[in-house]
Structure formats: structure tokens, C-alpha cells
């Protein structure tokens, strides 16, 4: 049987998913099969399907060819995702470390195939009919993507991937000798929130000590990333990497000037409140001076903490999602039964947390590093919000529609954090009001935090020839503007402008962070609305999750009846409800 005959027997994406669901209904994550793709075979099959698409004599034939291409895209992405997850679970696993390296090297080659598909897609004679069947947004996304890739940048993309992986490996290698044990960066988290001030300072010095030891390595990785990204952008004809980054993230509705206006709103409406709240914290903690290592502690009696271990928290989360809605109950049952949550910090595990999607198994996956802080519960709401959206929009047959752009995706996650409020007592018990107060004030601080790092990136990539010392000076100026209350005491490493060096997003996913701030505005709208009319707010949120990426950023906001964050006054409108809640709380008694 010829390759073309084999392709003609290929099931549609819908048929493939129906078959998979029947075959793997009882499979757990550990049983999800990984096979390194044979890129030569993949390329041959892709080209056969692509030629079939180009030569299609009917709209039906063209659509079948697209389905075949999508199947190949799902297959490749599934294997890439499995390698990434298993490598991040154990960065010391030699096999998956090599597989991650394989995809770092070869994902750009697959991107080239995808680029060829997009070239054919936007030129097809069946474009009008396909827009009716597949949606016009697919074509807009294809046109935008075509501006972000060229075979000329293949080696540079490989270098960018390798450098980002070097950062992850360096961070995961941390073994900090502290309080009689070797601890990774995640495991140092609880000590930064200790009610013992000396312990907080010691933890800060230990953590920044590891970073200071690796300062030159981090400087070198970041410098190389800035230059290779600038080279990629200029090879593609961009003035700077900034414009390329916006197109990489699929931002069709707004640009750097809009984001700058948003940051201006943050400086005007949020930074003053954050300063006031920090002054209140200083009084609560009865401190003459609030140093940087004091900021993570909220109350003299200690921060809110979950009252059980990982298994206990998952059990409470099950109860929460069962009561929240039929959809969330079904979703979380699926996640547990498939063992799609890897939550505990352990030696060799990559830092941070994320959610991703394993396409061929219809499976979201949640990765985290529990450390006994309130952040553990935030994972079971924030990352679960991402996972819930992926679960609710898994029905989309077009890969581009299964997930939305990041600015919308973070609405799913941050809003879920607030929809969980009626159940947070399950986790925090007597600390419930502490948690709510901390959660809301953290939402405000996040607006400033992500805006500051966004401004930093704009400055760095607009001026890629800055020295590392000059870049650090840029950060210190921005740091003082957004966080006027920060005092670094005698920590030379931070005083010199190095506070950004452990921020994964700056190394691995540049210009992503502002999406958290944009999404937070919408999440706060859901918080305020749900306190008045929970059913209406939930209905809007559920529809947003089901829509996936089937509309643009502003189009999805309009569907969900959320305010446009770029419009003047968008932040100002949500502040009264926040102020009213905060003023109703006597924080000195928490």
C-alpha cells in the first residue's frame, strides 16, 4: 500500500479522538505512551497531506487534508509535551533529559512544516468556504504566524530553546544547605514566610546566596538570549524583538502602546494602594522598617496555611469542585483518576508550576511544587483553572482553538481562584479570612509586579546592546517606581539590581507576564460580580472556557461581557469594590 493510500485510510480528527477515548479510558499518566517522532517519516506524511490540500478539487477534500495535517500536529505535540513533563518532574532522568534536548533541537524543524501549511492555507482557493467551516480566526492566526518564522532562523531558534533549558536546569540544580537539610528553591519558600524575622533574613540570604554564586552564569544566559532574540527579529525584518514577541503570542488586538497605557493605569491606581497596604502591614508586624525579606509575611501570627498535606488538599479540592458545578466535578474526577497532578516538591524536580495539555489523550496536566504555603491551594485553583478550560474546550478539532491566547488563558486561571472563595474554608479553616485578605491584596501586588517586569523587558529589548550592569540599573529604576516601599537592607546582590534573575518568564517566555495583569483585571471583575450574582458570573466564565481560542482577545472579552483593560478607567472601575471589601476588614485582628 502506498503512502498516499495509507493517508486516505487515516481517520478524521474526530474519529481519532473517539477511538482514543475508547482505548485509553482507564489509562493513567504513567501509561501514556511516549515514542520519539521519526522526523523523516513525519515530514513525508506531512508533505503528502499538504500536497493533497494544495491539489484538492473540492472543499471536502481540502477539509480532509487539513484534518490529516492536524492529526500529525497533535501527534508531534503530544510527544513533545510528554517529554517536557517527564523531564520537569525529574531533571536528573537521563532519558527524558535527552528527549527534551531532542525537541529543543527539532521543534524548529516541525515549525517549518507548520509554516508551509500556513502558507498554503492563506492562499487556498477554498479560503472563503473554509473560513465558514473552520472560522476566519484560523486564517488570521496563520497570517500572523507566518511573520514569526523563516528557515533562516532555524539555528537561532534552536539556540534560544537550548538557552532557556539551561536556565531551567540551573535553577533545578539548587541544593541549598539550610536548617540541617539540602533544599531546592521551592522548599525554601516557607522559610521566607516565617514569623521569626531572623529566619526570614537567613532564608533570603541563603536563597540569594545561591543566585549570587551563579550570577555570572545567569548574566551570560540572559545576555545570549537577548542577543539571539534580537538577531531572530531583525532577520525576519522586525525593528526589534518586541514586535516579534507580540506576534508570537498572537496579539491581534493590541500592541506595545496599548500595554504602556495599561501600565500607566497601574502606576496611577494600584501602586498608591499597594504602598498604603504595605504601610498597614508594617504596623501589623510592629516593625520600624519593613525590609524586602519581611514582605512575604502578612501577619504577626503567621500567614494562612493549608491545614493538611497534599493528599488531604486534593480530597478537599474534590469536594470543592463537586459542589461548584457538574462540569468542575467531572473535570477534577478525570484529573485524579488519570493521575494528572504532580504536586510535591522533590529533589531534581524543576521549579515553579504550570499546566499543559496532552492532545492525543484529551488530558490537561498540572505540575507544581507544594511547600506548605497558601500557594499550594492557589495551584489547586489557578492551574486547575487552566486545566478546566482545556478540558472544556477539548472538543475543538482545530489545534489553534483548543486553547486561547495567554492573555485570555490567565483569565481562566485567576478567575477560578476567586470562584473558589466559598470553599477556601475547607483548606484554611481558622485562617480563612486571613487567606481572603491576603489573596485580594496579592492580586493588587501582582498587577504592579507583572507590569514592572513587562516595562523592564520593553527597555531591554528596545536596547539590546546594553551591558549587564546597565540592564541591572534599568531594573533598579523600575523597581523603585513600582515598589517605592522596598528596602534591601544589606543585601548587595539585590541592591545591585538582580531581583529579576530567578524569574523564569524573563528567560523562557518573554513578554508573557503582562498577560497576568490584563487577566487579573477581568478576574477581579468576576470576583466583584460573583459576590452579587454568582450564577450570572459563572455562566459567563463557563462560556469563556468552552470558547477556547475560537475568537480574538477582545472578541472573547466581548462575548464574556468583560471590560477592555486598555480602555481608560478600566482599572478605576473595579477599585471601589476592592476598597470597600478591604475597608470592611480589621486587618489588625487577623
Residue 540 clears pLDDT 60, i.e. is over it? yes
| pLDDT > 90 fraction of the chain, expressed in percent and rounded | 92
Q: What is the pLDDT of residue 252?
A: 87
The three cell numbers of residue 151 are 528557515
Q: What is the pLDDT of residue 17?
A: 44
C-alpha to C-alpha distance for 387 and 381, rounded to whole angstroms: 10
The DSSP letter of residue 353 is: -
Asked if 328 and 321 touch (Cβ cutoff 8 Å), the reply is: yes
User: Which stretch of 123-127, 332-336, 506-510, 586-590 has the lowest confidence by average pLDDT?
Assistant: 586-590
Length of the chain, in residues: 590
Residue 389 clears pLDDT 80, i.e. is over it? yes
Burial of 512 by CB count in 10 Å (0-12 exposed, 13-18 middle, 19+ buried)?
buried
Residue 259 clears pLDDT 90, i.e. is over it? yes
Which whole number is the average pLDDT over 212-218? 98
Element at 409 (helix H, strand E): helix 406-419
Which whole number is the average pLDDT over 54-68? 97
C-alpha to C-alpha distance for 287 and 297, rounded to whole angstroms: 12
Residue 407: Cβ within 10 Å count: 25
C-alpha to C-alpha distance for 308 and 372, rounded to whole angstroms: 8
Asked if 284 and 588 touch (Cβ cutoff 8 Å), the reply is: yes
Strand partners, 417: none
Quick: pLDDT tens for 333-379: 999 999 999 999 998 999 889 999 999 999 999 999 999 999 999 99
Q: What is the pLDDT of residue 433?
A: 97
C-alpha to C-alpha distance for 33 and 243, rounded to whole angstroms: 38
Q: What is the pLDDT of residue 563?
A: 92
Residue 245 clears pLDDT 80, i.e. is over it? yes
Element at 75 (helix H, strand E): helix 59-89
474 closest CA partner among 460, 484, 461: 460
C-alpha to C-alpha distance for 78 and 483, rounded to whole angstroms: 41
Task: Count the alpha carbons within 13 Å of 312 in the hemisphere toward its beta carbon.
Answer: 10
Asked if 362 and 394 touch (Cβ cutoff 8 Å), the reply is: yes
The three cell numbers of residue 98 are 535527552
Q: What is the pLDDT of residue 271?
A: 97
Burial of 350 by CB count in 10 Å (0-12 exposed, 13-18 middle, 19+ buried)?
buried
Residue 19 clears pLDDT 70, i.e. is over it? no
Residue 18 clears pLDDT 90, i.e. is over it? no
531-535 contacts: CB < 8 A, separation 24 or more?
531/577
C-alpha to C-alpha distance for 590 and 297, rounded to whole angstroms: 13
Residue 25 pLDDT level (bands cut at 50, 70, 90): low
C-alpha to C-alpha distance for 559 and 66, rounded to whole angstroms: 28
Which whole number is the average pLDDT over 136-140? 94
168 closest CA partner among 185, 143, 153, 192: 185
141 closest CA partner among 249, 254, 258: 249
Side by side, which strands form the sheet with 354-358?
A: 341-344, 363-370, 354-358
C-alpha to C-alpha distance for 174 and 183, rounded to whole angstroms: 7
Q: What is the pLDDT of residue 6?
A: 34
Residue 240 clears pLDDT 80, i.e. is over it? yes
Angle between helices 127-134 and 59-89 (to 10 degrees): 50
Q: What is the pLDDT of residue 425?
A: 98
* Domains parsed from the chain with CATH numbers: 3-146 (no CATH), 156-306+431-590 (1.10.1370.30)
Q: What is the pLDDT of residue 514?
A: 97
Asked if 305 and 312 touch (Cβ cutoff 8 Å), the reply is: no
Query: Nearest 5°: CA angle at 49, between 45 and 51?
Result: 115
What is the pairing mode between strands 341-344 and 176-178? unpaired
Quick: pLDDT tens for 473-493: 999 999 999 999 999 988 999
C-alpha to C-alpha distance for 556 and 548, rounded to whole angstroms: 9
Amino acid at each position: 500500500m502506498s503512502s498516499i493510500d495509507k493517508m486516505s485510510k487515516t481517520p478524521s480528527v474526530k474519529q481519532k479522538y473517539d477511538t482514543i477515548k475508547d482505548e485509553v479510558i482507564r489509562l493513567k499518566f504513567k501509561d501514556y505512551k511516549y515514542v520519539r517522532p521519526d522526523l523523516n517519516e513525519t515530514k513525508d506524511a506531512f508533505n503528502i497531506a499538504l500536497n493533497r490540500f494544495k491539489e484538492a478539487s473540492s472543499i471536502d477534500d481540502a477539509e480532509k487534508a487539513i484534518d490529516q495535517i492536524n492529526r500529525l500536529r497533535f501527534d508531534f505535540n503530544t510527544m513533545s509535551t510528554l517529554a517536557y513533563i517527564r523531564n520537569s518532574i525529574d531533571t536528573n532522568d537521563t532519558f527524558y533529559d535527552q528527549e527534551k534536548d531532542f525537541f529543543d533541537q527539532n521543534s524548529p524543524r516541525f515549525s517549518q512544516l507548520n509554516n508551509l501549511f500556513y502558507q498554503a492555507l492563506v492562499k487556498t482557493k477554498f479560503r472563503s468556504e473554509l473560513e465558514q467551516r473552520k472560522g476566519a480566526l484560523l486564517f488570521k492566526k496563520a497570517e500572523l504566524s507566518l511573520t514569526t518564522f523563516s528557515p533562516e532562523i532555524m539555528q537561532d531558534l534552536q539556540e534560544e530553546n537550548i538557552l532557556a533549558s539551561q536556565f531551567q536546569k540551573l535553577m533545578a540544580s539548587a541544593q541549598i544547605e539550610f536548617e540541617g537539610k539540602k533544599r531546592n528553591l521551592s522548599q525554601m519558600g516557607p522559610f521566607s514566610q516565617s514569623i521569626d524575622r531572623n529566619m526570614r533574613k537567613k532564608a533570603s540570604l541563603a536563597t540569594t546566596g545561591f543566585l549570587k554564586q551563579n550570577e555570572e552564569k545567569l548574566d551570560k544566559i540572559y545576555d545570549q538570549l537577548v542577543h539571539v532574540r534580537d538577531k531572530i527579529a531583525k532577520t525576519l525584518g522586525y525593528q526589534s524583538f518586541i514586535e516579534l514577541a507580540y506576534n508570537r503570542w498572537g496579539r491581534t488586538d493590541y500592541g506595545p502602546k496599548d500595554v504602556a497605557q495599561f501600565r500607566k493605569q497601574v502606576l496611577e491606581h494600584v501602586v498608591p494602594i499597594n504602598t498604603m497596604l504595605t504601610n498597614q502591614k508594617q504596623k501589623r508586624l510592629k516593625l520600624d522598617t519593613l525590609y524586602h525579606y519581611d514582605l512575604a509575611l502578612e501577619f504577626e501570627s503567621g500567614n494562612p496555611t493549608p491545614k493538611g498535606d497534599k493528599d488531604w488538599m486534593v480530597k478537599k479540592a474534590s469536594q470543592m469542585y463537586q459542589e461548584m458545578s457538574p462540569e468542575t466535578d467531572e473535570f477534577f474526577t478525570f484529573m485524579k483518576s488519570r493521575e494528572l497532578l504532580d504536586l510535591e516538591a522533590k529533589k531534581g524536580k524543576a521549579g515553579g508550576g504550570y499546566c499543559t495539555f496532552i492532545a492525543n489523550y484529551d488530558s490537561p496536566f498540572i505540575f507544581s511544587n507544594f511547600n506548605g504555603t497558601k500557594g499550594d491551594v492557589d495551584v489547586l485553583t489557578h492551574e486547575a483553572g487552566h486545566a478546566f478550560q482545556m478540558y472544556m474546550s477539548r472538543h475543538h478539532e482545530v489545534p489553534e482553538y483548543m486553547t486561547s491566547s495567554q492573555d485570555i488563558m490567565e483569565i481562566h486561571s485567576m478567575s477560578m481562584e476567586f470562584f473558589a472563595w466559598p470553599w477556601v474554608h475547607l483548606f484554611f479553616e481558622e485562617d480563612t479570612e486571613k487567606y481572603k485578605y491576603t489573596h485580594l491584596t496579592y492580586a493588587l501586588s501582582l498587577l504592579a509586579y507583572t507590569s514592572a517586569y513587562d516595562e523592564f523587558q520593553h527597555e531591554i529589548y528596545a536596547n539590546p546592546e546594553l551591558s549587564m550592569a546597565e540592564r541591572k540599573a534599568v531594573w533598579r529604576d523600575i523597581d523603585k517606581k513600582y515598589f517605592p516601599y522596598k528596602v534591601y537592607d544589606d543585601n548587595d546582590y539585590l541592591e545591585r539590581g538582580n531581583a529579576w534573575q530567578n524569574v523564569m518568564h524573563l528567560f523562557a517566555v518573554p513578554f508573557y507576564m503582562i498577560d497576568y495583569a490584563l487577566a487579573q483585571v477581568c478576574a477581579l471583575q468576576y470576583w466583584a460580580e460573583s459576590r452579587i450574582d454568582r450564577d450570572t458570573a459563572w455562566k459567563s466564565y463557563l462560556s469563556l472556557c468552552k470558547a477556547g481560542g475560537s475568537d480574538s482577545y477582545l472578541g472573547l472579552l466581548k462575548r464574556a461581557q468583560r471590560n477592555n483593560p486598555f480602555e481608560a478607567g478600566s482599572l478605576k472601575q473595579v477599585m471601589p469594590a476592592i476598597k470597600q471589601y478591604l475597608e470592611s476588614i480589621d486587618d489588625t485582628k487577623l
